[in-house]
Structure 1
Amino acid sequence: MNNIEAEIDDYLARYAGTLTSYDAHAAADLWGSPGMILNDQHGAGVLESREAMASGLEQSYPLYRKLGLASVGYERLSHEQLSSTIFLVRVRWLFYDEDGNQITDSLGSYILRRGDEGLRAFVCIPADDAEKLQALAAKQGINLFDETP
């Protein structure tokens, strides 16, 4: 494994750790500012500050807890160096319940930039998270449309 692979894996492990611990501020610290979520359903959302990112994450936590998401892992599927400091990373997030059983997964692509603070995400392109969360909710008898993220 070369240095950038180890650096990306370290970044993804730290990010997964913040999701497992429901630490919105630590997760937001792994983002650059502004950060963008670009998806098929809602177009593009730009979060101008890390505080706004943390707030957005915190709003989703009650639903994630209700769905039984207890820990998060990952598989780095690929990475490509786009410039001297910018990388495109494709990742499969693995979501587990409190017993360690995988209950769903999700694919996403990230644009990461290496700066003075190390790697930071600036763009996230989720591929299937909305569909996967909806399927998990349906399997558990939870109506997502009655939930406030």
Structure 2
Amino acid sequence: MNISDIEGYLTRYAESLASFDSRAGASLWATPGMIIDDQFTGVLDDRESMAQGLEQSYPLYRALGLSSVGHELLDAQDLTDAISLVHVRWLFYDAEGSLLTDSTGYYIVREGDDGLQACVCVQTDDVEKLRALAAERGIDINDFMTG
């Protein structure tokens, strides 16, 4: 897979996060899409569910001061002609351009008729880093958790 296509995909994903655009973010996922971390596994079957899931995180991101998102492509390995394993570091900035936190994850992305889309995301450290940032800022992250 072309690295510039992956970079373009990650840039669009970052822009959707920074603009709190759940529809744009959901359009970057194949259906169904799966997210896995050490404590959670979730499968979202349609884009509406994906958009709703993204929207649930926005109040916390706003409270933490998220203003822009960048990324560093750490690695990309082609698994087939259409599927790649992408390792990315997300960089979260405040309105002054200061780094709030970062997180790393692995994505299985597939090139299809709708362009490049994520099928699976394995999040490695985002929960711990969000908790640490919230604690540093005096924010009770439990106030933002849905059950």
- Alignment correspondent of 1:11: 9
| Residue-by-residue CA offset, 1:26-74 (whole Å, 9 max, x unaligned) | 00000000000011112x2000001100001011101110011111000
**Pairing partner for 1:52 from 46, 49, 53:** 49
- Alignment correspondent of 1:32: 30
The answer to whether the aligner puts 1:107 opposite 2:121 as a matched pair is: no
Q: Secondary structure at the match of 2:101?
A: strand
- 1:117 offset after TM fit, Å? 1.2
Percent same amino acid among aligned pairs? 56
Name the CA distance, whole Å, in 1 between partners of 2:112 and 2:34: 18
Name the CA distance, whole Å, in 1 between partners of 2:74 and 2:18: 20
Q: CA RMSD in A?
A: 1.0
Paired positions, count: 146
The answer to whether the aligner puts 1:63 opposite 2:60 as a matched pair is: yes
Unaligned runs of 5+ in 1: none
Runs of 4+ in 1 over 4 A off after TM superposition: none
- 1:84 offset after TM fit, Å? 1.3
